[in-house]
Chain A
């Protein structure tokens, strides 16, 4: 990690800060906190955060785009689930509406939908969602050459060195990487764990571990979380809790209860921003469209300060984000692969 003071770096490209918004109020918070771009979704299963009470109606998105543009920010619309076979109409309408509203880019995952958007809206800027799980030069070049995709959101499986090497091979295609928030340990776009327990997945229904299938049972000795009727974790009194997903469940193996897939923790790369900028990353993405305005404001402010500090040659400020992390813990994840 490089956090030492350095002189101002005009040679470095200023990365875009891409921030989440699940509601119009969160969009406003993100823009006011210094977001360059805000990514959002429609209030249906066309996006991978199809949570109850969340997301934008057509009217809200129209107003949101106007607000963002008036403040010099862009709006990227995530239409990043996979259409049900033979029923692509809802997804096609989402692409058409977002393009008509003047979205600055469409974030897509399904190759058929990418093809539809490229043919029907050749002027639209296309970003490849992390859900497409494109992580090698051949796959990325294919999307760029065949459909004109201009940016790819990289899966959270690569080290900083691997990202730098990848960038060198795929230019002028831009890369966007996650810098903060929840982590998926599975190959994104291909994880079916949630389906096994609930019949619904992020890939098609836009929701991992849907809230309708989650129950918390308070008992004297702590809280038990259940998903689809299966007990997946138990937290003692005062023990920090995590999301009720199977990948973050605590299971008994060899008589010992432990996190077999991943512990509840949040990605935080604030200290790695200089390395990621040097690796040639175009955009930094903050996860969390399902989180509240307070989260959006706190994280965007922290990363705005971090990016600006790096470009000004100052050390990255040591900002405490512990209180909003899952399980009260943070990791640099695959960017460092410290477990190797």
Chain B
């Protein structure tokens, strides 16, 4: 099933691709302003029960606050997921492979709001779902999220989320109740003003409709 928690992970990974001021303080606060575009590389490693070796994928991502996330896996094969408040679109080899509208995804719009709020410095909604523990040291900061009892139902598959970083989020670790662990490492963060390619604009539009 495409559970709410899965989408949540996708969102959190995407939207917290950089550190929101409120979460990352006091280490180098970095917020994005309207029109900013964050680009970077990722390496995702999934350790799933019953699999001989971890599933590893690599690629690049583009995050546009208020519009969505383009997650482009290049290895082991070409696959793009575009996540917006309106829905999710998946392209396999450039062709539409799957489309999910927000009306079919319980929680998508809400999560979008929770995370948007977190990005703009309001962690209130986030704290209704998770216990948030922040620590920081010389080598950066660390945020740990654990589902609250009240948020358990929506987050029943998530045991723990850990985000670490310096200026931006450098790594995300997701532990599931079933024993699966996902790790995503980010690198090469780059913030630019409105440099979306026409192709990217079209992809975001297509996913949101």
A and B: real partners?
no
